[in-house]
Copies of this chain bind each other. A is one copy, B any other.
Amino acid sequence: MRLIENWFSERYSDNLQLSFRVKDQLLSVKTDYQRIDLFDTYDFGKLLSIDGTVQLTEKDEYVYHEMITMVPHYFNSRPSNVLIIGGGDGGAARRLLDLGTDKITNVEIDGNVVEIAKKYFPDISSSFKDSRVKLIVGDGIKYIKETENKFDRIIIDSTDPVGPAEGLFSRDFYEDIKAHLTDDGIVVTQSGSPYYQPAALAMAHKGMSEVFKSVKTYCAFIPTYPSGLWSFTMASSGEMKLRDEKAKSGKYFNSDILTGSFYLPEFVKNILK
């Protein structure tokens, strides 16, 4: 007889929470940067939480990882050399490999995230075994200041703009990014839930607009992220135009989404003003 049910709840505010029934808690660790919890849930498979917020689940990680990699992929020249800042689970690198990217540098600040992904999310983190992927455990802000490399795409796959990721939403950081993009290169960042975190989106969009010539925000629906609606913002020193190349389909992304995700609801447009 089972008397006790275990639930993991993410609080979206003091007054609202989404709760997942869990079979088991697999891990809880406080690292130098953050608290990491891992649950085996009934509906979404394994779920990785950082500082109490869902980062990825086995069932719906595809939306976030497809959207942060595949959308910018089809703009401007075909990218071959890509930098990921964050993304220690390997999910963004995995999609870039699927797209045929030649060279990926992945700079993750917290080595624990990488180790946990390798052990508990072997499919998602399989990218780290590929010789095209160079994994660096270190501070992305410091890396971008010091590297002499330039990249065709820089993907900021970070946590929310509180704690270790705060600097990843700053104008100074975007200036450093700009200096390390190729001529028609593109930077993209996750920019939070427009509904619950309009300040994160406004910060990313404003910061990028001060530094880059063109900035575009797009949205996607992610069931396990707050409110279900998520935003991404990409920017370039020149124009951003779709290449004449047929887009691959993922489980979420397709050629319609490549266009449609840029059509924003009125309340999202108002955040960008």
A contacts, CB < 8 Å to B: 9, 13-21, 41-44, 63, 195-196, 219-223, 227-229, 249-254, 256-257, 259-267, 269
Contacts and interface: CB of A to CB of B under 8 A. Distances in A.
Choose among A15, A249, A259 the residue with the greatest number of B CB atoms under 10 Å from its CB.
A15
Nearest to A223: B227
A262 B20 CA distance: 31
Identify which of A252, A260, A261, A262 gathers the most chain B CB atoms within 10 Å of its CB: A260
Given A221-B229, A227-B228, A256-B263, 9 more contacts: A15-B41, A18-B18, A195-B221, A221-B221, A228-B228, A249-B266, A254-B266, A260-B260, A263-B263
Contacts of A266: 249-254, 257
A65 to B, nearest CB: 14
Contacts of A19: 9, 16-19
A254 B249 contact: no
Interface centre among A9, A18, A266 (most CB of B within 10 A): A266
A259 to B, nearest CB: 6
Nearest to A41: B15
Instruction: Identify the 7 closest CB pairs spanning chains A and B, nearest first.
Output: A228-B228, A260-B263, A15-B42, A15-B21, A256-B263, A223-B227, A221-B229
Contact of A15 (B15, B20, B219, B253): B20
Nearest to A13: B43
Nearest to A255: B263
Contacts of A264: 256-257, 260
Nearest to A195: B223
Contacts of A265: 63, 220-221, 252-254, 257
Contacts of A17: 18-19
A141 to B, nearest CB: 32
A22 to B, nearest CB: 9
Interface centre among A19, A63, A259, A264 (most CB of B within 10 A): A19
